Structure 1
Amino acid sequence: MATLLITRQGWEKLQAEHLHLWRRERPETTKIVAWAASLGDRSENADYQYNKKRLREIDRRVRYLQGQFEKLKIVDYHPAQEGKVYFGAWVSLINDEDQTLTFRIVGPDEIFHQPDYVSIDAPIARACLAKTVGDLIKVNLPGEASAAWEITRIEYRQNTEQ
């Protein structure tokens, strides 16, 4: 079983999602399905069909999260990381055309709905690892092209609202 990395904030979000689905959303949806089923003909009952589908989606997500919890390893910030890019860092880059890019390096389960989060598995994140401010990184683009960026800032934010 492969170990996947996750930040403490990411772990807490996944735990909260799991609890919400299991303790709140699933029981409510189950009640609606039972009520709609009691009305009779299920083939033309939109409440039954929609909520039965939603129940399957909830169960699938809960099973996925439970499986992930066994594989995930929380990586907390350590002061020795300061000055270099490691997991959990916010990184700012600039290229020759003065385009800037800022992102946080996180685990693959944390990037969804977070436009400024990049998976540790992404080529740009891999290129930044263990680098310092002022270092140049080269990222291979699709095809034969590549892009060069300079690291302008590395930051480790300690609050949970990152």
Structure 2
Amino acid sequence: MAEEKTFPMTLEGKKKLEEELEDLKTNKRAEVIKRIKIARSFGDLSENSEYESAKDEQSFVEGRIKEIDNMLNHAEIIDNENVDADEVSVGKSVTFQEEDDDPETYQIVGAAEADPLNGKISNESPIAKGLVGHKKGEKVTVTTPGGEMTVTIIDVK
């Protein structure tokens, strides 16, 4: 039997997913059903673009509900109690610097809550994989799709 995939996440990330799920079930689902009813009233469904669009959206909403349900059912809340304060791990923020570049700070989170534009990178990303387990002050060589980069870990919070 195949092993169930777990989804590491912070408590904050779990709460956001629960809120999104609630919104999808109570608001989005009802909006889409209303759109489908309106589109049906236009007559012939074979050439009804409004109906097709609403059905596509319904499919997306239902798929996202299933996806979030699965992630929440298999969530693994990140616990850093047994990790050294200066060690990079999932759930912590890390500041690192590549040679002459400006320092960069990211929080390492589970893939379900990754949002690089808001400073949250997936624990499955090449940078996170390269940094996890290392400590403040260490120089680390990280392998990325663009090649190798050497960074110094400046801070871990």
**TM-score under structure 1 length normalisation:** 0.84
Distance 1:56 1:137 in 2: 44
Cα shift at 1:104:
0.9
My pick for the range that moved more, 76-85 or 1-10, is 76-85
1:107 CA drift (Å): 0.4
Of the three residues 32, 38, 41, the one matched with 2:41 is 38
- Equivalents in 2 of 1:54, 1:130: separation in Å? 42
* Aligned mate of 1:102, from 83, 102, 105: 105
Give the conservation status (yes or no) of the 8 Å contact 2:94–2:107: yes
Cα distance in structure 2, aligned partners of 1:2 and 1:45? 40
Mean CA deviation greater in 113-122 or 63-72:
113-122
Q: Determine the structure 2 residue equivalent to 1:139.
A: 142
The residue identity in structure 2 corresponding to 1:85 is V
Residue aligning to 2:18: 15
- Post-superposition CA distance 1:115-158 (Å, at most 9, x none): 42111122221222232221111112347x42110011112xxx
Identity of aligned residues (%): 26
Q: 8 Å contact 1:94–1:152 — kept in the other structure?
A: yes
Task: Give the letter for the 1:16 counterpart.
Answer: E
In 1, Cα distance between equivalents of 2:115 and 2:102: 24
Question: Equivalents in 2 of 1:152, 1:113: separation in Å?
Answer: 19
Q: Following the alignment from structure 2 to structure 1, what is the Cα–Cα distance between the partners of residues 101 and 57?
A: 46
1:21-61 Cα shifts (integer Å, max 9, x gaps):
11111012102212221331123333222111111110111
Aligned to 1:116: 119
* Aligned: 1:88 with 2:91: yes
In 1, Cα distance between the equivalents of 2:83 and 2:124? 22
Residues 113/17 of structure 1: CA separation in 2 closer, same or farther (3 Å cut): farther
Which residues of structure 1 form unaligned runs of 5+?
156-162
Alignment of 1:70 onto 2:73: yes
> Once structures 1 and 2 are overlaid, which stretch shifts more, 67-76 or 19-28?
67-76
Instruction: Give the secondary-structure state (helix, strand or coil) at the position aligned to 2:101.
Output: coil
TM-score by length of 2: 0.86
Give the Cα separation in 1 of the matches to 2:94 and 2:25: 35
Tell me if structure 2 keeps the 8 A contact 1:104–1:118.
Answer: yes
State the AA in 1 paired with 2:149: A
What amino acid is aligned across from residue 89 of structure 1 in structure 2? K
**Which range moves more in the overlay, 13-22 or 34-43?**
34-43
Partner residue in 2 for 1:160: none
